[in-house]
């Protein structure tokens, strides 16, 4: 089988595909990726086949888009995501995806939810395609309380389909043949049944290009409980006030807790090195087995990786799907939700104390961990892809 992964330039959407691709490769199949090479080249492991698409989306590139998006919240952030980022990206990717198919001649396209160009080109070419669902927000009725917002998103997608000359009576975010959902019902919850072609495979964990050898492992304190603080790669520059509140909370817990903060020093400011380890980047998967809890923004990737290690969370959602993911964590009992905007040190201290001291949170995290292990991860995703082709 020759599988072509069609992905946006977002780490949380690329990482699961790396693990699935590694499993497919181990079984003798061939894999390649297409998407914006300026970003994907930093996210993919070495010696992969990368066929560029969507590298030119307007003035300033993805760095400029990130700068404009970073400070938005709520509906404004969602509108920007679709109108200024995802739809222009989809248009920009179509020619490159066409060229990638001509070059690579794949048997199946594995298309991320937020890269609809892949679905459109696959439909025009009559090629089988499956959905790579790297966030579960769209499976729980995210616009139930905001129907006009949902209608607006649907209209943007329909406009893109019309521009591409394909019918608008289908949703390029969801394949009707196979949807690989990198989570489980134990975390997502919900009462309604899902179609049989929705495969809940759990998180797909695999190698990352980050070098674990460069991390100062000797500075981890075995006498304290260790907590990672990460706002992901896109949100940390907006976290100045949040980091300050976390550091203040940590001072009150300094005898018991060591923080590992993944952020640039210029954003965090001065830290007390006796109980805070500050690194701009950390090897997250390698670090998780050494931790007791994680404070994060509610990114689907970080949440699932944390729960895959049976660790409870403090979740401070920023925008987009993060409030929904945070609610899933809280509803599952696997963590505590706090505010990102107007953060308070006492609230964060109480949340940290709860996830570290209340065994119910750890038990809930381990229930989700068990569901992830049973789901099969990358191996289960590869099984479903093999059956499809």
Q: Give tens-digit pLDDT for 232-272.
A: 866 666 678 999 999 999 999 999 999 999 999 999 989 99
pLDDT band at 149 (very low <50, low <70, confident <90, very high): confident
User: How much is the pLDDT for 214?
Assistant: 87
The class of domain 2-177 in CATH terms is alpha beta
Residues 168-218 have pLDDT tens digits of: 889 999 999 999 999 999 999 876 788 999 999 999 998 766 667 789 999
User: How much is the pLDDT for 189?
Assistant: 87
Matching fold, domains 2-177 and 212-373: yes
State the average pLDDT over residues 117-141.
93
Q: The tokens of 135 are what?
A: 């966030």
Residue 183: phi and psi, rounded to 5, are -160, -170
User: How much is the pLDDT for 142?
Assistant: 63
User: How much is the pLDDT for 2?
Assistant: 97
Rounded distance between C-alpha atoms, residue 62 and residue 69, angstroms: 10
User: How much is the pLDDT for 58?
Assistant: 56
State the average pLDDT over residues 124-128.
96
pLDDT > 70? residue 63: no
Local structure of 142: helix, strand or coil: coil
Domain boundaries, the chain: 2-177, 212-373
Contact between 112 and 7 (Cβ < 8 Å): yes
pLDDT > 90? residue 386: yes
pLDDT > 90? residue 319: no
Report which of residues 146 and 29 the model is more confident about: 29
CATH assignment of 212-373, among 3.40.50.2000, 3.20.20.70, 1.10.600.10, 3.40.50.1000: 3.40.50.2000
Nearest to 295 by CA among 355, 254, 213: 355
Query: Cβ atoms within 10 A of the Cβ of 310, count?
Result: 20
Strand partners, 5: 33, 110
Contact between 338 and 351 (Cβ < 8 Å): yes
């Amino acid at each position: 089988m020759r599988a072509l992964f069609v992905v946006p330039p977002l780490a949380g959407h690329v990482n699961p595909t790396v693990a699935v691709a590694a499993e497919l490769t181990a079984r003798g199949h061939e894999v390649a990726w297409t998407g914006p090479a300026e970003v994907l080249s930093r996210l993919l492991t070495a010696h992969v086949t990368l066929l560029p698409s969507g590298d030119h989306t307007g003035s300033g590139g993805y760095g400029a888009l990130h700068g404009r998006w970073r400070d938005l919240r709520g509906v404004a952030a969602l509108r920007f995501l679709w109108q200024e980022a995802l739809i222009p990206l989809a248009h920009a990717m179509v020619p490159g995806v066409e060229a990638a198919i001509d070059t690579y001649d794949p048997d199946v396209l594995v298309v991320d939810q937020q890269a609809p160009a892949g679905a459109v080109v696959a439909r025009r070419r009559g090629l089988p395609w499956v959905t790579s669902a790297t966030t579960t927000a769209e499976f729980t009725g995210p616009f139930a309380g905001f129907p006009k917002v949902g209608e607006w998103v649907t209209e943007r997608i329909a406009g893109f389909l019309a521009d591409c000359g394909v019918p608008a009576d289908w949703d390029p975010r969801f394949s009707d043949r196979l949807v690989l959902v990198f989570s489980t019902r134990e975390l997502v919850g919900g009462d309604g049944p899902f179609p049989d072609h929705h495969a809940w495979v759990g998180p797909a964990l695999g190698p990352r290009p980050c070098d674990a050898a460069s991390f100062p492992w000797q500075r981890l304190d075995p006498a304290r409980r260790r907590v990672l603080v990460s706002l992901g790669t896109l949100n940390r520059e907006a976290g100045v006030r949040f980091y300050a509140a976390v550091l203040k909370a940590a001072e009150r817990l300094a005898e018991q807790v060591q923080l590992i903060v993944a952020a640039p020093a210029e954003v965090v400011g001065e830290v007390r090195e006796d109980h805070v380890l500050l690194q701009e980047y950390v090897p997250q998967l390698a670090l998780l087995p050494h931790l007791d809890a994680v404070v994060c923004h509610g990114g689907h990737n970080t949440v699932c990786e944390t729960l895959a290690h049976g660790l409870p969370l403090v979740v401070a959602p920023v925008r987009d799907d993060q409030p929904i993911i945070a609610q899933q964590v809280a509803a599952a009992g696997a963590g505590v939700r706090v505010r990102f905007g107007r953060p308070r040190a006492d609230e964060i201290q109480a949340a940290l104390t709860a996830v570290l001291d209340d065994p119910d949170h750890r038990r809930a995290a381990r229930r989700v961990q068990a569901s992830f292990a049973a789901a099969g991860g990358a191996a289960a995703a590869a099984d479903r892809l093999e059956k499809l082709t």
